[in-house]
Amino acid sequence: MMAAIVEPNVSIVGLPGSGKTTFLAALWHLIQSDEIATRLRFASMSNEDYAYLNQIVKLWRRATEQGRTQIAGMKSISMNLVDAADRAIRVTFPDVPGEDYRTMWEDRKIDEGLAENLSAGNIMLLINGDRIKSPAWITERMHLAGKVENGPVEEPARWEPRLAPTQVQLVDLLQHLMRRPLARGRRRLAVMMGAWDQAEGEGLSPSDFQAARLPMLDQYLKSGRDGWTFRTYGLSAQGGEFDENDENNAAAKAREDANRLRELDHLSKRIRLLSDGTESHDLTEPLEWLMDDQ
């Protein structure tokens, strides 16, 4: 098959609640509004995905959290972009419910469509910096020892895969991506430490945060045994806390921060991307880097 334009594929992957849909909404606002100069610019859009992106961007503009992406399946999104040299690049990403990645971890199962997508491109891994499940919290030990919830005190609760720390699940996911049937040789990986507005209070750079909070993931990547070429970014796709979405929670709360975010002159300025000591609003920078490798 002959293709006139380059068609790189970037897969956005992440556990449930890692910020995948929010990232796509912020990216769509950024390139469509043209409020801020970006490395890659919007060219045109393929028709089928228009409604979905507009639906998620509407919530983003109102500073309201996204609904959970439905199990009903993967939304495949394509954007036609151009780079600084006016070369046309069509980028496709799936917006997949995080549960599909959880299924890979818990049940060792993958849907065919997702498998095809994951084997086709470079990877953007989203991590919610505000929801990292650390190894062995004392409360978890208590739970495992049967001292809370589930059953009589004498009977320890059964361990379940979902109790595993975030970094264990992520390393497993990355290992799957480097083995059959998902392998495709060396790949680039952009690790996005998301909800950075909540994580930055610790005073660490994104790379140091990765080393401190997800040391096993950090060592897996640095050891180079699976051949990832990676970069770590800090990402705030919202700029702060949005109002809760009543689709997720009937008692959804409004949040103070959301008012500030609604009042910015250019909504694109909510977005923050940190890398190597520099900060910008340009979410297309990691995309450009991920595409470079094709």
18 binds Mg ion (CB under 5 A): no
The verdict on whether omega for the bond into residue 181 sits within 30 degrees of 0, i.e. cis, is: yes
Smallest separation, CB 14 to Mg ion (Å): 9
Give the residue among 206, 217, 60, 201 at the shortest CA–CA distance from 134. 217
Site for ligand GTP, residues 91 to 150, rule: CB under 6 A: 97-98, 128
Site for ligand GTP, residues 11 to 40, rule: CB under 6 A: 14, 16-22
Contact between 129 and 199 under an 8 Å Cβ cutoff? The reply is yes
Site for ligand GTP, residues 196 to 215, rule: CB under 6 A: 197-198
Q: Which residues of 195-222 are buried (b: 16+ CB within 10 A; e: fewer)?
A: bbbbbbeeebbbbebbbebbeebbebbe
69 binds ligand GTP (CB under 6 A): yes
Mask 251-280, x = binds ligand GTP (CB under 6 A)? ------------------------------
128 binds Mg ion (CB under 5 A): no
Among 11, 38, 64, 69, binds Mg ion (CB under 5 A): 69
Residues near ligand GTP (CB under 6 A) are 14, 16-22, 65-66, 68-69, 97-98, 128, 194-195, 197-198, 236-238, 240-242
Residues near Mg ion (CB under 5 A) are 20-21, 69
